[in-house]
A and B are shown apart, each in its own frame.
Chain A
Amino acid sequence: MTTAAATAPLVRRRAPAPVRRKRFLIAVANHSILIAIALAFIAPFLFILLTSLMTTNQALSADLWPHPFRLQNFADVFSKAPLARWTFNTMMYSCLATIGVVLSSVPVAYALARLRWRGRDVAFMVVLIALMLPPQVTVVPLYVMWAKLHLVGTLWPLIVPNWLGDAFSIFLLRQFFLTIPEEYLDAARVDGCGELRILFTVVTRLAKPAIAAVALFSFLYTFNDFFLPLLYVGENSHNWVLSLGLAQFRSQHQVQWNLTMAATVLVMAPVIILFFVAQRAFVEGITLTGVKG
């Protein structure tokens, strides 16, 4: 019978030298590929950042490293363009649209995922079809509608549709809600919750990562959106958002690459910071919808 072996001290065995060499080479190969890809992605950002710190003449030369560093560029951007105004408009658009998407999509997604009602599957198909339509397809009739309401030129045509649900967000949230074990909802029902109560006290808490992901997607999409703002507020520079302003700034200061790049950095920065801060929720929200766990 096997009992505990003798008291000899445990000597940890090392993998044989050829095996170790092979593992080392594989690790080197893997990391080289990753580093190369990472460099390829970060290079344009570095180029933008460095150019934004140059003088105008340097920016037109072949130099890659700014000498001297000209931080004044960033201040110049503010004095040459109504950056604060654009930022305010972008925030109006992005924040209000994001709040609207979350508030309107969560109940719809819950109804599609968890309530039993006639026509639910048809309704879900309609949502899926809406998801597949690019905005360019619906834009003409919508534009006519907003024009008739005399709201073209304001931010409302950008914000209001988001308060009526967003197909992609509804789809993402529905998939996540489906993974929430029914027992949580049954337990809440037995403990005295009605369906609305379940939605607001239980489901929203359990679905926090998915809701965060939806909010982030929506924020990033509206922040970067160029097409719809150009269409609806392009004629009214008072309501320009950052993406419009930046494009216009670029065409006005064509030879001043340093200023253009400084403006670009200023516009990119919040998105990059947001992404770093919310990275985990972002990735979690996507992976959780696919794999249960």
Chain B
Amino acid sequence: MASVRYDQATRIYPGTDVPAVDALGLEIADGEFLVLVGPSGSGKTTALRMLAGLEDVDAGSISIGDRDVTDLPPKRRDVAMVFQNYALYPYLTVAANIAFPLRIARVPKEERERRTQEVAELLGLEQYLERKPGQLSGGQRQRVAMGRAIIRQPSVFLMDEPLSNLDAKLRVQMRAEIAALQSRLGTTTVYVTHDQSEAMTLGHRVAVLADGRLQQCDTPRELYAHPANVFVAGFIGSPAMNLCHVRATNGSVQLGGVSFETPAGAQGEIVVGLRPESLELAGDGIPAEVEVVEEIGADSYVFAAAEVGKLVARVDTRLAPERGARISLRPRPGEAHLFDPATGVRLPQPAL
């Protein structure tokens, strides 16, 4: 068990000038489940590989517990990693795959077998121990990969998109299993995903990365309620937040007949962010024409074109308008997020 600390850690791939990870500063507490999330190319996997020791750290440092591991090879960092494609050795049985790290560490055979058995029981893999990975389903392979990480009882688990090769239903199921397993073992875990819903459901805290920079690191609820900038606002939440450029006048912006107070001194355009659930159908508001209606059960998402841009609103399916209908969407007072259009940074919200 250990905490993890990235201190201005930077990675610049040879032959490029742009850092893949730029001065990342992040503290992960002992036993915490931290999710690194971001779009492709945001540097999240690179950040994880730096912690694993698979990538060099070009500036800054990384420590695990009170040990500086910046220049240690992977095997001396006491971390275990689960890979996207599982990286199970096809020529070894499930039991041999799980026990592989112990064999490398020259753990005596009896102990190896005992611990393999324990891990197999923990993951429900007892009856598959003699099979080869090729004979397992995707979910079972995923579990074997987890087993290979667990058996070492490392200080930190690293998981690189471990669920992205599973189908949607299995992914949700394995997500719950991983969360349960992590809270049971209490091992510090760093988990990389591009899927914001996976990040929100799994992480104690979620770190959002874009272009190699940390955008915000907070609890899922805080990220959703108070996104620190336009990027986080647009990335977290599905469908994405509506972002409209609106001109501010006299300390407030007007949108669909509702006025939102702006911080003192804000002039010109500002970005108003509204979640789909912060827009409701009403008699008056922002006039818009319905383009697509996505029914997802109890709720429907209405995608509509308005003068301020495309908008999406969550409405009760029973009240969902037809495609092509002209509707009015009214923002709920007090639910807008305001951002600086130039920097994208969140503007302090005046008290209501």
Contact = CB atoms under 8 A, between A and B. Distances in A.
A238 interface: no
Contacts of B101: 191-192
Contacts, number: 58
Interface string B15-58: 00000000000000000000000000000000001001110000
Contact of A194 (B75, B83, B89, B105): B75
Contact of B83 (A186, A193, A206): A186
A96 B49 CA distance: 43
B80 interface: yes
Given A183-B83, A183-B84, A190 B52 contact: yes
A70 interface: no
Interface string B74-89: 1100011101111101
A192 B85 contact: no
Interface residues of B, number: 25
A181 B87 contact: yes
A186 B91 contact: no
A189 B89 contact: no
B148 interface: yes
B86 to A, nearest CB: 8
B89 A191 contact: no
B339 interface: no
B75 A187 contact: no
B168 interface: no
Given A192-B75, A193-B75, A197-B104, A186 B89 contact: no
A183 B141 CA distance: 15
Given A197-B104, A205-B91, A206-B91, A189 B75 contact: yes
A128 B84 CA distance: 35
Interface in B98-116: 100-101, 104-105
Given A181-B85, A183-B83, A190 B91 contact: no
A189 B104 CA distance: 10
Contacts of B158: 190
Contacts of A193: 75, 104
Contacts of B83: 183, 186-187
Contacts of B100: 191
Contacts of A197: 104
Contacts of B84: 183
B87 A184 contact: yes
Interface string B144-177: 0000100010000010000000000000000000
Contacts of A202: 89
B75 A183 contact: no
B87 A183 contact: yes
Contacts of A208: 91
Interface in A165-196: 181, 183-184, 186-194
Contacts of A189: 53-54, 73-75
A190 B104 contact: no
A192 B81 contact: no
A114 to B, nearest CB: 13
B4 to A, nearest CB: 15
B105 A186 contact: no
Contacts of A184: 87, 89
Nearest to A181: B85
Contact of B80 (A181, A188, A190): A190
Contacts of A192: 74-75, 101, 104-105
B75 A190 contact: yes
Contacts of A206: 89-91
A190 to B, nearest CB: 5
A191 B105 CA distance: 8
Interface of A: 181, 183-184, 186-194, 197, 202, 205-206, 208
Interface of B: 49, 52-54, 73-75, 79-81, 83-87, 89-91, 100-101, 104-105, 148, 152, 158
5 contacts: A181-B85, A184-B89, A190-B80, A194-B75, A205-B91
Given A184-B87, A191-B100, 14 more contacts: A186-B49, A186-B87, A187-B83, A187-B87, A187-B148, A188-B104, A189-B54, A190-B74, A190-B81, A190-B158, A191-B148, A191-B152, A197-B104, A206-B91
- Nearest 7 A-B pairs (CB), nearest first? A187-B87, A192-B75, A183-B87, A191-B101, A192-B104, A190-B81, A183-B83
